[in-house]
Amino acid sequence: MSIPMDFTRPPTAKERLKLAARLARLDNPEHLDRIDRVYKLMPGELPPTGLVIRTGFSYRGTGVDADASDRKAPPHDLRPPATRLITSRGAALRFAVTLLAAAQSNRKLGHKARLSELGIAIGGDSRTLGWADLLAADSSDSNLGGVYVTSRDKRARSVRNALSALAKAGLVSVPGIAGTRNRFEDFVLLNELGTDVLGEAEEYRVPRRTEETFTIASGFVANGWLHVLEDSEIALLLMVACGKGSFPDSGLLVVPADIRLKNYGIHRDAYSSARKTLEWFGLLDVEEVGRHEDGRAENSELRVHRLGLVAGGFDRPAAQTVIDTLTIQISRS
């Protein structure tokens, strides 16, 4: 599929180095094959209407940090789950969305997830599906001094680390105490708002139509975008899909800087970088307001860009689209 005409500024030398490293991680036949197989292995199928997420997963309406600045995001415990789970190379945010997708692919509205009934082990093996198969990490088999560790083992470890992070954020319940063998096998998915907002643990149920939710296209998961995007990009997409606290302008959304920071937990640097790459990937429609040629904002905080999800953007295969786009951007001068 052709890449749309690009009128954005070319990446800087520093940005090119980051893009090249990202391309090198992604452009691996084994990793690409794993991305392609993830959704095919997931039991069930997301409804064509998309993945439904409770608003509070991305937007925190109470207990926000009044002292936060646009250069510094609120403390982790004052951010919504979507940004609380952000890490540089971890899998917690991606796995959280994967669990929501698995629940909605197998349960009706208002029903409990009860993911243990799906019979999915943490690691699995060549004959048995594991949660490790639903995580497309760029890992490979290794032999260090005779200690052989498979890619599956590494992905299973990533799943356990993700579940630990989700438990800390009040998004899953893990039985037993740390160090107990197989303690992660019987984890229970909790309401994606988190226990700190709800005041107590509440088992996850597929959202009913009467609840405050937002929807992101099923292609976000089905076509592999969840597994090729960085955490900050995922968080920004969820913010635009959510839209709470924004106002419309010419068919797009305006999210004031203070709302974006304090309620969504996305600080300026992460926002600026993710906004640009998502526009390159054809997922985000951006109307830039007040920009110099080098990308610096005019009048700094007074200018707020207009944002919108691109209709049909998630319909394309994620991995190849990102590879093609990164290749083009790196070559621009």
Q: Which residue has the higher pLDDT, 129 or 72?
A: 129
| Per-residue pLDDT at 88 | 78
pLDDT digits (tens, 9 = 90+) for 231-281: 999 999 999 999 999 999 989 999 999 999 999 999 999 999 999 999 999
User: Which pLDDT value is given to residue 249?
Assistant: 92
Q: What share of the chain is helix, strand, coil (3-state, %, to 5)?
A: 45, 15, 45
At 70, is the pLDDT very low, low, confident or very high (cuts 50, 70, 90)?
A: low
Both tokens of 6, joined, read 């690009």
104: pLDDT strictly greater than 90: yes
Q: What is the pTM of this model?
A: 0.91
For 156-312, strand residue ranges (E) read: 172-173, 188-189, 213-216, 247-249, 252-254, 284-287, 306-309
pLDDT at 68: 62
Q: Are 218 and 53 in contact (CB under 8 A)?
A: no
Could you tell me if 329 and 273 are in contact, meaning their C-beta atoms sit under 8 angstroms apart?
Answer: no
pLDDT at 181: 77
Mean pLDDT over residues 61-74, rounded? 71
What would the two tokens of residue 46 be? 């997301």
| Percent of the chain with pLDDT strictly greater than 90 | 71
pLDDT of 295 > 60? The answer is no
Instruction: Work out the pLDDT band at 302, boundaries 50, 70, 90.
Output: very low
Q: What are 110's two structure tokens?
A: 């208002």
**According to the model, what pLDDT value does residue 173 have?**
97
Q: Which residues contact 37 (CB under 8 A, 6 or more apart)?
A: 133
pLDDT digits (tens, 9 = 90+) for 143-197: 777 777 888 899 999 999 999 999 999 999 998 777 777 889 999 999 999 999 9
What are the sequence ranges of the domains in the chain?
13-331
Bridge partners for 214 per DSSP: 53
